[in-house]
Structure 1
Amino acid sequence: MSLLHTCTLRPQDPPPPGMTARGLVTVYHPKQNSPSLPLLLFPVFPVNPDLGAAVGIPVGLVLDACCILGNNRRGELQLLDMPHQRVADEYSDPDRLLSPGRYLFVVVTEERHPVYDYSVCSSFDYWVPPAVIPLRWKGQEPARAPDLPYFSPSDGGEVILEDDACIVTGATSCLESSHIVPATAVQWCRRNRTLLYAYGGDPLKDIKSARNVVTLRSDLDSKHMDSGLFVFAPFAGRIVPIFLKPTAGDLAYNFHMKEVGFPDRILRGYLFVRFAWDIFKFHAPGLAAAAWAQQMLPHQGPLLNLKRSSSGRDQQEGASKKAKTSGDGRGSHTDEAALLAVYEAVDENLQKQPYLTGGDAELGFHVGFSSTKRLEFEYRRAHPEVSAVGSTQFWEDAENKWDDWTT
């Protein structure tokens, strides 16, 4: 009897599918003087490429990033190619997907007044965390979390893995521990210890404890997480990884915006700090340009003239002059094609949502609205004499000073 067995080679598995970004979400500061350097830049991946799902990035993530750079001031997103056309604000559904396009972030006061000339925070080192983080970032955690054991991988000892598997991929081999709040942020934590204490822990103790580490597969560990490859953020009531670099490839294909088993021991306030650190370091290419714009001399003026006219008639007369001087009969609508592309992308996403939110309706978004916009643009081109429609004009009573019509 022969003890030898025939062995056949196992065929090599096909390479995992990759996924490429389908566009960019770029956000500008109204006073920024460098159109090639947006304040924020996010590559956008399909949520589920196999099912042809909508392409976009959560509105809440973009607004939170803008708020952080704007020194924790809330605001709204407007279309860059159509100033004052609001796309989303703090009352919008944070889980609605923002389509690829160019946007402005405008700070809004408590009285709902827009602020275009606002300052930005130029570095994470100078950023002061808010005492209260947005509600959707909060987890079900006690007011004061219990102490957890400390460890220090830099001591040369065995690295403690707090989780049995990678929290993103579920892998049980090639695992490493990764910090949420970067270990290099100790001095920053010390300066902001009082504010961070309100998050439920003590950052100077927690930064080297199990309260600040998660277990990841080696190709997602701190070296890659610290390169801005992805961020952890809330979406639909869960924590998901959102890949924000075009090089994400097969990782984005398999894990982009998929729910992860994020451990309860990690304070959500620390996760918000980590998000801010990533935004400052990797996703704000025009931050320096926007900060410099605040120091511009008055005669230089802003790149984007976004002052609201004192009346609708001013806007109408100005647009009329542009229409008369335009050689192609389109007036000031030279960016119609780019704007219509944004509308069509928004419309496509609306068709794939299970329902429309009140925020969508308030902004005039409904299934099929891009077709109406296309007809509007075509009509304006064919009838330049009516292409100067400005904002709605209100009748003002000389005695009672009414600001609007009443019924």
Structure 2
Amino acid sequence: MVQLRAPTRPPSPPQYRQVQILFRHPGYDDDNNVLFKLQASDIDDHGQPGLFAQFAIDACAIIAGDYACGRGRLSLSRDGSVSIDPTSTLRERSYYFHLDAADDDPYPIVPNFRQWKYPHDRLPPHWQQLSPDTNPTSSSVTLAPSNLTTALLLRDGSCRLSGCREQLQVAHVVPQSELDWWKENDMSRYNTGSTATLDDTANALLLRADLHIAFDKPRVALVPKPAADDSMRLVAHLLEYSPEIGHLYHNRELHPTAVGVDMLYARFAWSVFTLLDAFLECKIDRRLTLRASDVRLADARGFVTPANCELFSSTAARRRSQSPKKRKPNHDTVLEAQQSAEPPTSTNLKRKSIAEAEGLPSKVIAVKRARQVRPPSASVSDNASALTPTHLPTDTSVLTLDSESLPVQSLAQTWLELERRRSDPHGIWNKEQNWAQCVWDGGTLTSDDAAQWLEAVGMEIRDV
């Protein structure tokens, strides 16, 4: 008889109060000076939530561009009269981060990771105490970037946080999306190989799939914290509230790994900058530290308008990454909008054959034709101004398809208009159509613009 087992029991983490600590900029009013907030993830022996002070100072120093200068300190008061011991545990609701001997007030902050310069050879002392694994077997592994997974399997062998040997993934420490920052800051100098790529064993480690997701959120950061013998150990720190991950892995020391310390510090900075959105989107002027290419956005003292501050937030970066060309219409919605049944006419059969050839539903072909205009029969000569069309259909409720027209319900047309507005918030498509309409009405057209105009009226241009 097969022996069955009871369902697995979910983790039962102890219940702690969810507390977030605010870190303020003393150069702004308390109504709008919160730089960011951190989860009080360090639970003491009495079950009280808190946060290791040095961890918070490191995060504030990165945002303030202080790096290893050591000018930064935390205080409970805005005037900074009493400083907080970096080795203590933070338990209050909010703290101020001060920069001693700052050139001016308010001191400027770095708005995002791509504006941040890496402090080569100037890491904070407690970060420098982290030493990578010196296992001779792992250090002798040198493979091409295409064999990064094999190299990590030979070097790490298991998830560096959980110790699991299944469901492993390669986790880049400095994310692959930050390749431009990587090159601008010459981070390849820390690679173990001779290439300049991010796909180097110094910038990667093995993580279990779910922990890889948490690492990229970023929900978990890898930072140094002191052990009982006062040595610094690389541990996981919970950035975002998660009872199960916190119970299993917060302050959990990593298995030995040869990941570069410089990569880990850069990753910590990348994680911290994701917390700045609220400060940048607070609708007031902020004093920022910008790259030379972006300094034009600031005034003489470095203050940036609210609208330009928002350009540096991670929210704006995500919007820019969502190109309208990558958004595709929901074909099912189009089909649902086409409620009426169509008789099996020759036009429908022809449209169906076209759809099969293009791999799309036949009714979607009709919607695609909505943006096409049948130009008059004329030859295109070198003199593009000779293109003088005589008719431009303006009734968008009728779709031109070969020699016949097909009715389309207003619901489908409304959906198309809403989808167009969503995918093209700047109205570029409407501007192109207005320009095409002006040419139809007799406007001049140069030979350089002929191909663009033909595409705007729905014709397909192919290189021969």
- TM-score tier after normalising by the smaller chain length: 0.5 to 0.7
Q: Distance in 2 between matches of 1:211 and 1:133?
A: 17
- Counterpart in 1 of 2:206? 215
1:134 equivalent in alignment to 2:124: yes
Question: What pairs with 1:271-350 in structure 2 (closer than 5 Å)?
Answer: 271-282=264-275, 285-289=278-282, 292-294=285-287
Contact 1:163 1:215 in 2 (8 A): yes
- Counterpart in 2 of 1:27? 23
- Write the deviation string for residues 111-144 of structure 1: whole angstroms up to 9, x where unpaired: xx796410111111111111211111123369xx
1:96 equivalent in alignment to 2:85: no
Q: Which has the higher helix share?
A: 2
Q: Distance in 1 between matches of 2:235 and 2:221?
A: 8
Select 1:78's aligned residue among 59, 63, 75: 75
Q: Distance in 2 between matches of 1:141 and 1:63?
A: 23
Q: CA deviation at 1:192?
A: 1.2
1:123 equivalent in alignment to 2:112: yes
Contact 1:125 1:188 in 2 (8 A): yes
Aligned with 2:34: secondary structure?
Answer: coil
Relative distance call for 1:188 and 1:114 in structure 2 (3 A) is: closer
Q: Distance in 1 between matches of 2:113 and 2:36?
A: 15
Contact 2:21 2:38 in 1 (8 A): yes
Q: CA deviation at 1:9?
A: 3.3
One-letter amino acid matched to 2:18: R
- Counterpart in 1 of 2:97? 105
One-letter amino acid matched to 1:119: P
Contact 1:70 1:119 in 2 (8 A): yes
Q: Distance in 2 between matches of 1:290 and 1:26?
A: 19
Q: Distance in 2 between matches of 1:244 and 1:27?
A: 14
- Among all aligned residue pairs of Structure 1 and Structure 2, give the percentage whose two residues are the same amino acid: 20
- Write the deviation string for residues 276-317 of structure 1: whole angstroms up to 9, x where unpaired: 01111246632454983337999xxxxxxxxxxxxxxxxxxx
Contact 2:49 2:91 in 1 (8 A): yes
Contact 1:24 1:42 in 2 (8 A): yes
Q: Distance in 2 between matches of 1:292 and 1:79?
A: 25
Contact 2:193 2:200 in 1 (8 A): no
Aligned with 1:60: secondary structure?
Answer: helix
Aligned with 2:205: secondary structure?
Answer: strand
1:55 equivalent in alignment to 2:49: yes
- Counterpart in 2 of 1:38? 34
One-letter amino acid matched to 2:204: V
1:69 equivalent in alignment to 2:63: yes
Larger Rg over CA atoms: 2
Contact 1:44 1:56 in 2 (8 A): yes
Select 1:9's aligned residue among 4, 10, 13: 4
* Range moving further from structure 2, 100-109 or 27-36: 27-36
Select 2:214's aligned residue among 202, 214, 224: 224
State the TM-score, normalized to the length of structure 1.
0.59
State the TM-score, normalized to the length of structure 2.
0.52
Contact 1:26 1:103 in 2 (8 A): yes
For structure 1, the residue ranges without an aligned partner over 5 or more in a row are 299-407
Q: Distance in 2 between matches of 1:284 and 1:96?
A: 28
Relative distance call for 1:192 and 1:76 in structure 2 (3 A) is: same
Q: Distance in 1 between matches of 2:261 and 2:283?
A: 29
Contact 1:179 1:213 in 2 (8 A): yes
Q: Distance in 2 between matches of 1:234 and 1:141?
A: 12
- Counterpart in 2 of 1:374? none
Q: CA deviation at 1:260?
A: 1.4
Q: Does 1 or 2 have the higher relative contact order (CA < 8 Å, sep 6+)?
A: 1
Contact 1:167 1:216 in 2 (8 A): yes
* Range moving further from structure 2, 177-186 or 233-242: 177-186
Question: What pairs with 1:171-250 in structure 2 (closer than 5 Å)?
Answer: 171-193=164-186, 196=187, 205=196, 207-221=198-212, 223-236=213-226, 237-246=232-241, 248-250=242-244
Q: Distance in 2 between matches of 1:123 and 1:106?
A: 20
Relative distance call for 1:182 and 1:34 in structure 2 (3 A) is: farther
Q: Distance in 2 between matches of 1:253 and 1:280?
A: 25
